Structure 1
Amino acid sequence: MEIPHEVARLFTAQHFAIVATVGKDGTPHAACKGIVKMEAEGRVYLLDLYSGTTSRNLERNPRMSITAVDEDHFAGYCLKGTARLAEADEMDPALIEEWRGRISRRITHRIIKSIRGEKPHPRHPEALLPVPKRLIVLEVDGIVDLTPGHMK
């Protein structure tokens, strides 16, 4: 399924998105993940830094959704689809470099906020993130517009 430009723009502008998977007891599990790359053809790449609950859930049930909102414009989207996991040695080095670039931009953003006296966190947590262990590749098969109807 093709991802419209405005949807991709909203997701890539966020520092993270909320990923939802299905837990072993059938309940939803939500986690924050950074999106590395989105392809217009309907593929989304996310890095799994810890290979924890999200990875275990996807091994059992590959259905997943990703949600992002732009609180300033009261808009958001949920992408639904089927995910697959790729191990670190299967990752395209260009995706790792893209992730490093995004982390550098996030750290730069925090430093600028700190200089302005707006820094909300006493440290730069992005600098402490581990090397990614797995890549999550989502094949999007549905897009839900979360923007309230009267605001479209």
Structure 2
Amino acid sequence: MKELNDDIAQLLRDQGSVTVSTLDASGSIHSACKGIVDIEKKGRIYLLDLYLRRTFANLKRNPSISITVCDEHRFIGYCLKGKAKIMKSQDVGPHIMKAWEDKISSRISKRIVKNVRGEKGHPLHPEAMLPRPEYMIVMEVHETVDLAPIPIKHRAL
């Protein structure tokens, strides 16, 4: 497992969701947006997947996974590569389920504030209608790739 540096851990916390890529039965890449539930600096990331469909089937067949996270405004991003385990919700521990509940509450609160400010967004609160997770994706990071182009990185310093 590869330890996450502070920049990567903070970016993951700031974004709240990531693009997760897995391999399907034919070896083609499948990408989907998943919510981040918790991050352990030692290199473990807990992801929310509610619907037991393609990502779930792909990971049962092949545990290879990558996560892409970026912040367009700051022009930074990372691809994290590793292996994933599927864990039943009751096996991940109460602190992880509490983290999921806190994330849902936070998303609803942020949406309400933005709606009050008049910012256009989803008129409902879809997070409130999400089913309780039956399982979590637990990723162990083996490699990190900095996606910022090197010439731009040096100019920013």
User: TM range, normalised to the smaller chain?
Assistant: over 0.9
1:42 maps to a residue whose letter is G
1:32 counterpart residue number: 33
2:152 counterpart residue number: 151
- Distance in 2 (alpha carbons) for counterparts of 1:113 and 1:11: 21
1:85-132: CA deviation from partner (whole Å, max 9, x where unpaired)? 111221211101111111111111110110010031121111111100
CA drift of 1:63 comes to 0.3
2:25 maps to a residue whose letter is K
TM-score by length of 2: 0.93
1:13 maps to a residue whose letter is D
Q: Note the residue ranges of structure 1 that are not aligned, 5 or more in a row.
A: none
1:130 counterpart residue number: 131
Check the 8 A contact 2:89/2:97 in 1, yes or no: no
> How many residues matched?
152
- Distance in 2 (alpha carbons) for counterparts of 1:151 and 1:11: 21
1:121 maps to a residue whose letter is H
Check the 8 A contact 1:110/1:119 in 2, yes or no: no
- Distance in 1 (alpha carbons) for counterparts of 2:120 and 2:106: 15
TM-score by length of 1: 0.96
1:23 and 2:31 correspond: no
2:102 maps to a residue whose letter is G
Runs of 4+, deviation exceeding 4 Å: none
Q: Note the residue ranges of structure 2 that are not aligned, 5 or more in a row.
A: none
